[in-house]
Chain A
Amino acid sequence: KAGVTQTPRYLIKTRGQQVTLSCSPISGHRSVSWYQQTPGQGLQFLFEYFSETQRNKGNFPGRFSGRQFSNSRSEMNVSTLELGDSALYLCASSLGLYTGELFFGEGSRLTVL
């Protein structure tokens, strides 16, 4: 069974630009969550999508947004990038909304210069 696939794996952007990250969940998984990992803060929850609807949102500014498609694939977008957005962005999928057991991808490492 293929795991969670994230693209791109690495990217470099400059301040003010925007970025879109993509996530393909494990086949059959309908929930996709996004997390930001930074050295000082650990993993922090961004948002969760289920059946193309955002079900839950963490404490991040509106520059961070996402969406989910009918095939459960998800994208997250960060607009007007800031230096502090440099992080590893992890996507995780799960069978449903209330499992608590997430399957993570390898992440997309974003560097903002």
Chain B
Amino acid sequence: DQQVKQNSPSLSVQEGRISILNCDYTNSMFDYFLWYKKYPAEGPTFLISISSIKDKNEDGRFTVFLNKSAKHLSLHIVPSQPGDSAVYFCAASADQTGANNLFFGTGTRLTVIP
């Protein structure tokens, strides 16, 4: 049973525009959420995270929003650049099961069109 879901397998946006990647989760015990980016033939790399006590975290062009009541988080990339083209994974963890036991979504492939 997939506890973290990314319902859009792919997304295409124009360079300079906003990219919005969405993620839903089912386990209310999740208290830490992360986004990872993966290029082909490379391992995932950490991008940004947010604790459940916050509803927004910003790092440069990347902002993650958390809506706990809706069990939904999103990653905004503004402005999008061609180098952002990659697969983005949403992940979540719970203190109960261990912070490094991440539950991943199946990923969204972002293509930024020059």
CA distance A33 to B100 in the complex (A): 7
Closest chain B CB from A51 CB (angstroms) = 13
Say which residue of B34, B101, B106 sits within 8 Å of A42 (CB atoms): B106
Query: Closest residue to B102 on the A side, CB-wise?
Result: A45
Identify which of A40, A58, A98, A106 contacts B41 (C-beta below 8 A). A106
The interface bits of chain B over 72-113 (1 if a CB of A lies within 8 angstroms of the residue's CB, else 0) are 000000000000000001010101011111111111000000
Q: What is the CB-to-nearest-CB distance from A94 to chain B, in angstroms, rounded to a whole number?
A: 6
Which of A40, A102, A107 is in CB contact (< 8 Å) with B102?
A102
Query: Chain B CB within 10 Å — which of A33, A48, A100, A105 has the most?
Result: A100
CB-based contact B104/A42 at 8 Å:
yes
**Interface size of A in residues (CB-CB distance below 8 Å):** 28
Q: Scoring A residues 31 to 50 as 1 if CB is less than 8 Å from chain B, else 0, what string do you get?
A: 10101000011111100100
Which of B93, B95, B101, B103 is the most central at the interface, judged by chain A CB atoms within 10 Å of its CB?
Answer: B101
Q: Are A106 and B98 in contact (CB under 8 A)?
A: no
Closest to A94 in B: B100
Contact A100 B34 (CB under 8 A): yes
Give chain A nearest CB distance to B48 CB in angstroms. 10
Query: Are A99 and B99 closer than 8 Å at their CB atoms?
Result: yes
Q: Is the CB of A41 within 8 A of B106?
A: yes
With A and B bound together, what is the CA distance between A98 and B2 in angstroms?
Answer: 23
Interface residues of A in 1-60 (CB under 8 A from B): 4, 31, 33, 35, 40-45, 48, 55-56, 58
Q: Chain A: which residue is nearest B47 at the CB level?
A: A101
Given known pairs A90-B44, A100-B32, A104-B44, the reply for A56 and B104 (CB within 8 Å) is: no
Minimum Cβ distance to chain A for residue B36 (Å): 8
A92 at the interface (CB under 8 A from B): yes
Listed A/B pairs (24) with beta-carbon separation below 8 Å: A31-B100, A33-B100, A33-B101, A35-B104, A42-B2, A43-B91, A43-B102, A44-B104, A55-B98, A58-B101, A90-B43, A90-B44, A97-B100, A98-B95, A98-B98, A99-B100, A100-B34, A100-B49, A100-B99, A101-B34, A101-B46, A103-B46, A104-B36, A104-B44
